[in-house]
Structure 1
Amino acid sequence: MQDKDLPDIVDLVREMGAFRHEDRHRSADQDHNRATHTDASGRKREFEEDGEPQTGPLSGLPAQPDTASALPQHLEDLAARARTYVEAASSPNTRRAYAADWAHFTSWCRRQSVAPLPPDPQVVGLYVTALAAGTADDVPGRPAPRAASAKPHAVSTIERRLSALAWNYAQRGLSLDRKDRHIATVMAGIRNRHAAPPRQKEALLPDDLIAMLETLDRGTLRGLRDRAMLLIGFAGALRRSEIVGLDCARDQTEDGLGWIEVLDGGMLVTLRGKTGWREVEIGRGSSDATCPVMALQTWLSLARIAHGPLFRRVTGQGRKVGSGRLNDQEVARLVKRAALAAGVRGDLPEGRRANLFAGHSLRAGLASSADVEERHVQKQLGHASAEMTRKYQRRRDRFRINLTKAAGL
């Protein structure tokens, strides 16, 4: 039976991480800018008055009792490893987004003269109300902007920020009750009043993709790289982070999300994605011009890449290949640029066309055009449910089943 006098291991790790972080990085100036608040249990909580989050896997945690300083030496390595696991629990993009959301919330609290700590459902309810009303960035005492210039946040953005607050509070050992009436009732009203259908990116079908490939210069390394990225992203239905996260082989980089194996029938991609590890089969194309395996092999051969990241930045007027991994934003820019150059959806004005395409256009394109059983498409996309896969099938099966005629009309 566990001794009730012993601290929970989670609390112990949190105390260790907070103590080491604060002890290593806190300066006299930072101490001067801190304010303390007392929660319901009578313990003092600290927060940065400027609302800027600190960096690190356990950043911004409130100071813990000095008992953490008595941590045995032989547990310090375990504490350091625990912090790396905490950091690995979420993706870098998620942590950056949550840190930015927390900074926005604490900045709003400072302007409204309310404390962000401890969590107060009424304060959070007022914050999400300000987001929905487009007044979250207003400064008290100054004239409010005109109603026409106010920009209410989308419901999806508000829900993400609410999730970010709950996550940040949890990292501080606190709990935000999202079912509290001050939050739940307000969010229900916001959804009823402001919810809108999701804006999905346009699916790029095979003819669109072939036209996009023709806009790329096969005589340059950049053109060869871009061809390989488009074809692999489409044929594998990969996310943009998965495309640039691939390595030439297993365990070659610390930041890699997977690796490739070229086989006789095609290419096997092993990925660590949102739903865990999965294997994606990318078969060879019907011609060399549209074969994703051939395109990748050509790029790797001429770029002289045999180890590390597959897709890298090309510099020196297209003659030099860097060693670092390409940013996933480059995939979205490539898709948008090539689609516009190929005249995809040329029936629409230029301004509207620019907002139609992004990295997900490749995933949606395969899901919408592959004429196979739905379960195969679901497996390729790595979805846990067929319902999610159908959301990616933008144009497939539309009006194939006519219930009007089936009913006798």
Structure 2
Amino acid sequence: MPSETEKSTSTPSDDLDEARIDERDQEESDGIILPSHVAGSGTLDRLVDTARDYARAAASDNTLKAYAKDWGHFTRWCRIKGAEPLPPSPEMIGLYLADLASGSRPSSALSVATIDRRLSGLAWNYAQRGFSLDRKNRHIATVLAGIKRKHARPPVQKAPILAEDILAMVATLPFDLRGLRDRAILLLGYAGGLRRSEIVSLDVHKDDTPESGGWIEIFENGALLTLNAKTGWREVEIGRGSKDQTCPVHALQQWLHFAKIDFGPVFVGTSRDGKRALDKRLNDKHVARLIKRTVLDAGIRSDLPEKERLDLFSGHSLRAGLASSAEVDERYVQKQLGHASAEMTRRYQRRRDRFRVNLTQAAGL
């Protein structure tokens, strides 16, 4: 980001030029145009727009927003340094990465994971503009390797919400309409090992809404969720619990019944008095806020200061909690979470497998 001095010296003309450049970048990022030798027509122009819509759907909205911010930050950096972002220059990108890691900019140094993600964002943006970014180029690869060697830290993982935690959290919720909804969100998210975006994207039926990320089917023995997730379509089976108070399927049915929801988004907002369900789908940030609030209300990790407790838990704590608490064969956990590899699943199993295999004793000590 530009410094305060740089911001204060900008003129309306500069701002207008930057807006025009950003607009041009957006047009270029669409990437799909008619060949130069083909004459345009109403039909072809509509097909171009359709193709662009499909191209944008290749990545999630959150990913596209992050990549757009990455590109915006890099292009501003280039303009401040008197360079052009196009075509890609490995030398300049190497300097950009060094700047991000060194903390020489007005803002603080970025983590290795964030720098790596920024580089992925640049590679994606260049591809959309018809360029190829060679991450193995020595100007990029050696700088990034040095950054990782010098600044890498162990990954900071969110704490899992374990079985006793989720029971304590749902116990803090009232039995009004809003409480029924939030109880269903927590129990369904925990039992399904769902991402927060997957929870709020659910519809009652298939094709209820254009923005749907999946739908639900309720059977005698449980609920089947069909999800359009990061790794593609997958089915998640959620069996009924041992008692109604903590059964995710029962909680879901209670919410749908009392909220009178039989079409469209499963999880929606409620009126101020909490007595009526609204039409608008919940934002995934609601899930994160709900988890943090109920963690505090339930007194989980009360040995820590409040800020540390809030930092310790997030939406991913539900997925990590299922992976850590479910004492079943690892392959079933992997399938439920929708992971492509067992190694990814093991990253979520925060405490389950610790010291289960004792190589010290196996080695004769």
TM-score by length of 1: 0.82
Are 1:77 and 2:46 an aligned pair? Answer: yes
After alignment, is 172-181 or 203-212 more displaced?
A: 172-181
Deviation digits for residues 113-165 of structure 1, max 9, x if unmatched?
111111111111111111001234x4xxxxxxxxxxx6210111001111111
Is the CA contact (8 Å cut-off) linking 2:271 and 2:278 kept in structure 1? yes
Per-residue Cα deviation, 1:229-249 (whole angstroms, up to 9, x for no partner): 000000000000000010001
Q: For each residue in 1:154-184, what CA deviation from the matched residue of structure 2 results, as whole angstroms up to 9, or x when unmatched?
A: 1110011111111111111122222111111
Quick one: which of 76, 82, 97 aligns to 1:128? Answer: 97
| Offset at residue 384 of structure 1 (A) | 1.1
Distance 1:261 1:116 in 2: 49
Distance in 2 between the 1:292 and 1:345 partners?
A: 24
Supply the distance in 1 between the matched residues of 2:57 and 2:104 (Cα, whole angstroms). 35
Note closer, same or farther for the CA distance 1:373–1:114 as it changes in structure 2 (3 Å cut).
same
Whole-angstrom CA distance in 2 between matches of 1:290 and 1:63:
50
The alignment partner of 1:249 has SS state of coil
Which residue is 1:24 aligned to? none
Larger fraction in helix: 2
Equivalent in the alignment of 2:251 = 295
> Counterpart of 2:84 in structure 1: which amino acid?
A
Deviations 1:234-278 (A, max 9, x none): 000000000001000111011111000000110000011111111
CA contact (8 A) 1:212 1:342 kept: yes
Specify the alignment match of 2:168 in structure 1. 211
Counterpart among 60, 66, 79 of residue 110 in structure 1: 79
Q: CA deviation at 1:49?
A: 6.7
Matches within 5 A, 1:191-202: 191-202=148-159
CA shift at 1:80, angstroms? 2.1
Work out whether residues 51 and 107 of structure 1, in 8 Å CA contact, stay in contact via their aligned partners in 2.
no
Q: 1:153 to 1:245 in 2, by over 3 A?
A: same
Distance in 2 of aligned mates of 1:62 and 1:294:
47
Who is 2:3 aligned against? none
Mapped partners of 2:258, 2:168: distance in 1 = 24
- The 1-side partners of 2:288 and 2:75 are apart by 31
Going from structure 1 to structure 2, the CA distance change for 1:320 and 1:33 (only over 3 Å counts) comes to same
Q: Out of 138, 147, 157, which is 1:190 matched to?
A: 147
Please state how far the C-alpha of 1:33 moved relative to its aligned partner. 5.4
2:104 corresponds to which letter in structure 1? T
Q: 2:61 aligns with which of 92, 102, 116?
A: 92
* Higher RCO (CA < 8 A, seq sep 6+): 2
AA matched with 2:122: L
Secondary structure at the aligned position of 2:312 is classed as coil
Label 1:309 to 1:68 Cα distance change in 2 as closer, same or farther (>3 A): farther
C-alpha change, 1:54 and 1:156, in structure 2 (3 Å) is: farther
CA distance in 1 between counterparts of 2:33 and 2:25 reads: 18
Q: Which residue of 1 aligns with 2:196?
A: 240
Matching residue of 1:390: 346
Aligned partners of 1:193, 1:60: CA distance in 2, in Å?
34
Counterpart amino acid of 1:321? A
Q: Which digits, 9 at most, give the CA deviation of each residue in 1:35-62, with x for residues without a partner?
A: xxxxxxxxxxxxx577646797x55569
Structure 1: 5+ residue runs without aligned partners? 1-28, 35-47, 139-149
- Give the whole-Å Cα distance in 2 for the aligned partners of 1:253 and 1:62: 28
CA distance in 2, matches of 1:153, 1:51: 26
In percent, how many aligned pairs have the same letter?
58
Q: 1:53 to 1:167 in 2, by over 3 A?
A: farther
8 Å CA contact 2:177–2:275 kept in 1: the answer is yes
Is 1:405 the counterpart of 2:361? The answer is: yes
156, 165, 172: which one aligns with 2:113: 156
- TM-score, with structure 2 as normaliser: 0.91
> Which whole-Å CA distance do the structure 2 matches of 1:120 and 1:73 have between them?
38
CA contact (8 A) 1:132 1:190 kept: yes
Computed over aligned residues only, the root mean square deviation of the Cα atoms, in angstroms, reads: 2.4
Larger radius of gyration: 1
Q: Which moved more, 1:347-356 or 1:295-304?
A: 347-356
Listed as ranges, the gaps of 5+ residues in structure 2 are 1-11
